[in-house]
Amino acid sequence: MPDTPDLPIVRAIAALRQTVSGWRRQGFTVGFVPTMGALHEGHLALVREAGERADRVVASVFVNPAQFAAHEDLGTYPRQEARDAELLAGAGCALMYAPGVEEMYPADATTTVSVGAPAEGLEGEFRPQMFGGVALVVAKLLNQAQPDVAVFGEKDYQQLIVVRRLVRDLDIPVEIVGLPTIRDGHGLALSSRNAYLSEDELTVARRLNGVLAEAGARAAGGARVDEAEAEAREALLRAGFAHVDYVAIRRADDLAAFESGRVDAPARVLAAAWLGKTRLIDNLPI
């Protein structure tokens, strides 16, 4: 597709690096926001935050096949590149990077990335292929764009922890910023997959945030973690969720479990639950 009037689009690593190098020669700092497209206000908030922290912002739009299992929704994941470009331009993005699969993953590529402990459990248990794919694509994107700062949403909280560990362990010279989750007027975390939900399912989905808030309040008030988790799982099922993969209350810095059985440090309550064929995740700080 042609560039929008306000937003150049590049698809090759060389073209991305050429543009970023030109900015560097002018003394500009660079912010980066990786996305899989199908953008909504949550993504645009990341772009605006990056714009507050850097002179020029690059946003990538790439549906990463490496983080999808064979049974997941890679083929049906929403794609709307022209609309995404318009939204990015309006949010102040300076360049859209939209590589093809062949550019990101040459046929003879063999390297993989394993992050270890932060990727284990929670999403790592139910989507065991996910974080290897996330770590690989994020490492590649950060190397390709070489930004000063990259902004990620806290909605995918475990992913944020994985990325922070990746950057620390591989000495990638970039600041990782987490932005609080953007929600609709009912408290539902904005997500590209919300488009899959029917009106009735949306009504149920909007109860997820409240259930997590109650679980967090109980744990903060001294209830045992396992009891607060179990009560939240039952509350989600009563609310109309078909299945709950997990509700977990973990340490905020590394997602480790509380050995004492009670919250004794900054924490997060995290959940993944199903409505029909749609899997929703969310989390809240405690």
In this structure, the strands spanning 278-285 and 267-275 are: antiparallel
CA atoms within 13 A on the CB side of 1: 18
**Which member of 40, 43, 71, 243 is catalytic?**
43
Q: Spell out the residues 6+ positions from residue 262 whose beta carbon is closer than 8 angstroms to its own.
A: 219, 222, 223, 224, 225
Q: Which two tokens stand for residue 158?
A: 């475990």
Q: Which two tokens stand for residue 161?
A: 């922890």
Give yes or no for a contact between 252 and 285, defined as CB atoms under 8 angstroms apart.
Answer: yes
Please report the DSSP string for 193-234 in residue order.
Answer: GGGG--HHHHHHHTTHHHHHHHHHHHHHTT--HHHHHHHHHH
Tell me if residue 43 is catalytic: yes
User: Please, which residues bridge with residue 127 across strands?
Assistant: none
Active-site residue list: 43
